[in-house]
Amino acid sequence: MTPGLSSLSHLKFGLSSSGFVRKLKGALALAVVACGVSPSPGQVTVSQLRTYSLEELMGMDVTSVSRKAEPFYETAGAVAVLTGSEIQQIGSRTLADALRYVPGLEVARVDFRNWAISSRGFNASNSNKMLVLMDGRTVYSPLFSGVFWDVQDTFLPDLDRIEVIRGPGATMWGSNAVNGVISMTTKDARYTQGGLITAGLGVEEKAFAGVRYGGEIPGKLYYRVYAQTTRRDDLLTATGVDLNREWTSTQTGFRIDSAAPKENGSVTFQGDYYHGSVGATANISTPFTGGNLVLRATKPFANDMEFTTQVYFDYLSRYVYQQYGEVRRTYDFDTQLRFSPWEHHDVVAGFNYRSSADQTRTGSLISFVPVDRRLQLGSMFVQDEIRWHEEMFGLILGSKFEYHQKVGVEIQPSIRLALRTRRSTLWAAVSRALRTPSRYDEDSRFGPLPTNPQLMGSHHFQSESVVAYELGYRAQYFTSFTWDVSLFFNDYDNLRSQEPTGLRQPRILSNKLMAETYGAEIALKWQPVRRWRLQASYSHLVDEFHLASDSRDITNGSQEANDPKNTANLRSHLVLGGGLEWDVGLRYVSSLPNPAQPAYLATDTRLAWRYRGQWEFALVGQNIFDNQHTEFGTRVSDQVQRGYYGSVTWEF
């Protein structure tokens, strides 16, 4: 390799500030990241590039889009990215709603406070097969296995990106990344300098306001602080009754980033505190409170070696009226080392320890035995990435080794292979991933009378497992058109079943369900003219469930999944000129089997006007052609209504 070329290859590290991307690159990207950005060996070096005159540069063909726009272009996995500005253009006020336009994700609002979100099937009101992270902190709860979307929030103007991997990510991220990983990252404090004030009023999104200020201590650090408050209207019940419940929340937080250039390493310290309540009835509201502190440091060494370590503390107190309550404290320590022991090899190895302790509160529906419990988890992983033939071929081999107190050591390996040309990536992968038993699986008592439950957890519950086979292709045909297709076949074993034990006896959670799912996902991005960008995606899914021969389960998986066969969406972003922008989004979800839900098509739109750059006025309509509809079963799900709001944002 020429010196010039190796320096060009550093471009790959200039792409994103988020540690997640780096991790993802290690996990999925077959390292030819550099290949897409820099010329192949024997072509243009920096010293040659410098000698070209302006006329010569203007006569050369641009052969790839900017890496910033397509950061996952080279990854050997099914990935999608939603940038912060794309999220604002959709007009969503919650993180869960922002995910509706991510290719391959199915998002359904179950009720006032719950969303069902999953990829590649197994969507349920407590979807348990997607691992979700916020700035490197897991928000996947070990109580029910899933994410409480009602307490996940951030100051949206400071959200940098949402990255979604479909398919197992367990080799790198560990258990519960069975069907995918969703990672949300906020901006580095250096990119949020100055002040921002935003406020809005509307129907459904009744009122909100937020303020952020970012500053610096020159040469030392960049910082920002924010605070926001929100008031949301109720959803209608399945029968169309308005209970006049209300959702209020207030959140504040900060982020500090070291000012030294990134190549010298970085330190980040951040935290959030939130408090709110979700109305159970017009008179009774149930509070939630939470907070977190995260400290992360990265230090590079010679020979492309890099050391990263992160510690965090997370606190959550949440009560669901008449169902259950939970207070949870999580401590997590994570460290990893990246190095290149031999030529063509890039090794990443890491270690993680987590302690998650809860105190549950018995409601009238669900209780846990024991009431309080601390779960501890230790794990390590190692992965080698091998490149050859001028980085055209790549192979990634790795595995996670996790130790759980109850289930012992679990192994989650994967193998990925990629073939890459300048404009395309063809990849294939086989991986194994697990969902480890939650408190619900092991300790729950479900039913109106705790002494005589209808459904019980079991200490014999094992991890659910999947072996996933994937094949994908991603290409850029012209600078303005990219296309991404992936196919998968997932073979699940040990899925949760409900085994009857006798007349008037509780059903016991067991592992006697199996399933196969397969399908395809297609995502397109097209920018026909500079001012107009179109994005479309389509996913097809087939799932087949069957029971072990000795099972007496009568649910046959209906509690575990309620998936549409087809989902599709289309987004248009049009810059009209004069500071005006117009966005339209269409999303289609085909019918759900059980609980039954007819297919629906929803439309969202946003018109924004920017005045002298610093001011932005926006009008947003959500679900505009429909008074109300359910999204997760007509007889059980709440009804999402048409919503409008207007907002003003001032940046100074």
Partner 1 sequence: MGILGFLAVRTRWILFLVLAPALWAADGHGGLSEQELKAAALNQVVHFTRWPVGTFADADSALVIGIFGEDPFGNLIDELVQGEVASGHPVKVVRCFTPEAAAACHVVYVVDAGLRSTDRLLHYLSDRSILTVSGDEAFVERGGIICLTVRSSRIRILVNLEAAKRANVTLSSKLLRLAEIVKKP
- Minimum distance, C-beta of residue 546 to partner 1, in the bound complex (Å): 10
Name residue 651's amino acid.
Answer: E
Alpha helices in 460-618 (DSSP H): none
Per-residue mark of binding to partner 1, 405-444 (x: CB under 8 A): ----------------xxxx-x------------------
Footprint (CB under 8 A) of partner 1, residues 61-120: 61-68, 85
- Minimum distance, C-beta of residue 600 to partner 1, in the bound complex (Å): 27
Of positions 201, 311, 337, 485, contacts partner 1 by CB under 8 A:
485
Edge-to-edge strands of the sheet including 78-83? 78-83, 159-166, 180-186, 130-134, 137-138
- DSSP strand E in 422-479: where? 424-435, 444-446, 455-456, 464-478
Our CB check for partner 1 shows the closer of 421 and 628 to be 421
Residue 264 near partner 1 by CB under 8 A? no
CA-CA-CA-CA dihedral for 445, 450, 454, 457, to nearest 10 = 20
Q: What angle do CA 339, 345, 350 make, to 5 degrees?
A: 40
Question: Cα separation of 257 and 298, whole Å?
Answer: 12
- Minimum distance, C-beta of residue 198 to partner 1, in the bound complex (Å): 10
Residue 541 near partner 1 by CB under 8 A? no
Residue 27: enclosing H or E segment and its boundaries?
helix 19-27
Our CB check for partner 1 shows the closer of 39 and 363 to be 39
- Minimum distance, C-beta of residue 567 to partner 1, in the bound complex (Å): 17
- Minimum distance, C-beta of residue 439 to partner 1, in the bound complex (Å): 33
Candidates 4-12, 101-109, 297-305, 399-407 — which segment interacts with partner 1 by CB under 8 A?
Answer: 4-12
Contacts of 624 by beta carbon, 8 Å cutoff, 6+ apart: 603, 604, 605, 642
Contacts of 341 by beta carbon, 8 Å cutoff, 6+ apart: 347
Footprint (CB under 8 A) of partner 1, residues 160-189: 188
Candidates 138-146, 477-485, 597-605, 640-648 — which segment interacts with partner 1 by CB under 8 A?
Answer: 477-485
Nearest to 640 by CA among 107, 44, 126: 107
Residue 487 near partner 1 by CB under 8 A? yes
Of positions 616, 618, 633, 639, contacts partner 1 by CB under 8 A:
616
Of positions 304, 491, 493, 626, contacts partner 1 by CB under 8 A:
491
For residue 528, CA distances in Å to 89, 154, 261, 572 come to 19, 33, 37, 11
Residue 159 near partner 1 by CB under 8 A? no
Per-residue mark of binding to partner 1, 353-392 (x: CB under 8 A): ----------------------------------------
Residue 40 near partner 1 by CB under 8 A? yes
For residue 200, CA distances in Å to 208, 305, 618 come to 5, 47, 9
Nearest to 438 by CA among 40, 198, 143: 143
Q: What angle do CA 92, 214, 220 make, to 5 degrees?
A: 135
Per-residue mark of binding to partner 1, 560-579 (x: CB under 8 A): ---------------x----
Of positions 395, 475, 586, 607, contacts partner 1 by CB under 8 A:
475
The token pair that represents 30 in the structure block: 């077959």
Of positions 340, 544, 554, 596, contacts partner 1 by CB under 8 A:
544
Candidates 54-62, 274-282, 305-313, 548-556 — which segment interacts with partner 1 by CB under 8 A?
Answer: 54-62
Q: What angle do CA 120, 152, 25 make, to 5 degrees?
A: 55
Omega prior to 528 cis, within 30 of 0: no
Residue 38 near partner 1 by CB under 8 A? yes
Candidates 264-272, 363-371, 444-452, 479-487 — which segment interacts with partner 1 by CB under 8 A?
Answer: 479-487
Of positions 49, 203, 411, 596, contacts partner 1 by CB under 8 A:
49
Our CB check for partner 1 shows the closer of 477 and 625 to be 477
Residue 518 near partner 1 by CB under 8 A? yes
Expressed in angstroms, the distance from the first to the final Cα of the chain is 47
Our CB check for partner 1 shows the closer of 191 and 273 to be 191
Per-residue mark of binding to partner 1, 329-348 (x: CB under 8 A): --------------------
Of positions 213, 353, 473, 644, contacts partner 1 by CB under 8 A:
473
The token pair that represents 399 in the structure block: 């595995």
Residue 11 near partner 1 by CB under 8 A? yes
For residue 155, CA distances in Å to 92, 128, 192, 464, 547 come to 12, 26, 12, 35, 45
Candidates 53-61, 495-503, 556-564, 586-594 — which segment interacts with partner 1 by CB under 8 A?
Answer: 53-61
- Minimum distance, C-beta of residue 469 to partner 1, in the bound complex (Å): 5
Our CB check for partner 1 shows the closer of 24 and 147 to be 24
The token pair that represents 580 in the structure block: 């005006």
Three-state secondary-structure class, residue 151: helix
Footprint (CB under 8 A) of partner 1, residues 190-229: 190-191, 193-194, 196, 216, 218, 222
Show the 3-state SS of 173-213.
HCCCCCCEEEEEEECCHHHCCEEEEEEEEEECEEEEEEEEE
